[in-house]
Chain A
């Protein structure tokens, strides 16, 4: 049985010599089969690398764009305790973005390049963040449902075959679990509060339930990357399997919240040992993914604006570093050295 160590040995021996792709490929396959971790310096198939870059970048972008719907309520949080919790959460998300860009960078792409792809629309982020946060209760619904779906998705990624991604997920999932409990607790306070607060909580759950189910991606038979990702042990479970797991977890939680889920077809199926649930509106899913959701334009515009308006700051930092340490700094200057000082709106 080849080990990751053997694989590394094979690579070192071949360094500078004739590349023997078949030997590398079989060492890689053996390492994946043995549930060993692939590390940045190990040989890996180009397609494996590309898939990981795409997935980790999309994940990082989701953390960054995902700050927006929640940041929308920081200045309006109804108590100082809730305000502190929400600020801490949004800060955590920025931190998750940083972890994930670092993980992506181990595969040979820089953060600037990935952000460029986000800004130009060549890389995506989770479609859930294209829905608006209309009331305070949405902050709770996002914590409970959106973070809940994310955790269901991400816990298996802690065993992903690519080491840096798996390790990032361990740290992220710990914090996400905390966020999810906070969201649940926020909704519980509303649900047990005044009639107006209860109605606000129910309305938020009604609006976020279906989009949360869509977070697991298209049905298995329409999922482009699933089979290959599972073969490489990047993914461990199919979209539909994780979606079912999520529904089964949420039903009793909704009951203890005293809230209903907006699905008349939702019921326990004794035979399957799972809940049956209604049909997802995939038309909406694909429309949002194509950019026609309620907030797609707004989210990406704000992200671009923050980046563009911050260019002079990054340039100043890079210039200062160059002046005072002889290097070019590490704040990711965009290469544009615009000295006009004009604010780009």
Chain B
């Protein structure tokens, strides 16, 4: 179940990152919104990981090199602009991908049909904030542009084919570029120029090659579970 792990890990890791915002959001409504999105993603992760095995064993007992998530979702939260840019890039991808999977008859169709509704909301939320930050104040514009630029190199990995997903990846990528480009344009932001994958040619996260912050994130996430082998919670 390579695909279940890939999609499940994406949702699990991004949910965890969003969970780090609790109590730190810029405005009370965003405490609610970010937690809400984190919960949706965690729900998706639980369904997907359960397709691949035991959800808790997979989440808590695998090591860094066994995780299959995109490098994009493990990126640290940074400021609110970085969190929104990461969410925009990923939500547009998820909405397109789940939209495709929902119309097929593969094993992910039922999950995708449910998740695509949640994801549309996540995408809308990220899009609205991209517009507000990009086209509000000069500070907001600069910060949002910086965030979009910084995360751009992680967007290519989303379109590396995933074993077990019957999707026309180049078409998906073209649609993603068009949609993301349109949002950035409306937000008066410049579409970043530069490579869309890192120095590793491989779809690194999908192959278990991650970035430095990820190991620390896992250490925190798994510590308690690993301290009590075999215990139930």
Contact = CB atoms under 8 A, between A and B. Distances in A.
Contact of B233 (A78, A84, A319): A78
Given A71-B23, A313-B27, A341 B46 contact: no
A76 B221 contact: yes
A318 B139 contact: no
B41 to A, nearest CB: 10
A310 to B, nearest CB: 2
B193 interface: no
Nearest to B56: A79
Interface string B25-54: 111111110011011001101100100000
Contact of A323 (B36, B55, B135): B135
Interface in B192-233: 220-221, 223-225, 228, 230-233
Contact of A316 (B19, B133, B233): B133
B59 A309 contact: no
A143 B2 CA distance: 38
Given A90-B35, A315-B139, A316-B133, A80 B59 contact: yes
Contact of A76 (B38, B131, B223): B223
Contacts of B223: 76
A316 B22 contact: no
A316 B31 contact: no
Contact of B132 (A68, A71, A101, A320): A320
Contacts of B179: none
Contacts of A331: 27, 29
Contacts of A91: 31-32, 35-36, 39
A127 to B, nearest CB: 18
Interface in A311-343: 311-321, 323-324, 331-332, 337-341, 343
Contacts of A88: 35, 39
Q: Which of B12, B26, B140, B223 has the most CB of A within 10 A?
A: B26
A111 B28 CA distance: 10
Interface residues of B, number: 52
B140 A98 contact: no
Contacts of A339: 137-139
A343 B19 contact: no
B56 A315 contact: no
B169 interface: no
Given A87-B35, A94-B28, A197 B22 contact: no
A306 to B, nearest CB: 5
A310 B232 contact: no
A260 B112 CA distance: 47
Given A75-B16, A314-B26, 18 more contacts: A74-B20, A74-B22, A76-B220, A78-B225, A78-B231, A87-B19, A87-B38, A90-B22, A111-B28, A194-B230, A306-B26, A310-B30, A312-B137, A312-B139, A318-B136, A320-B131, A320-B140, A324-B135
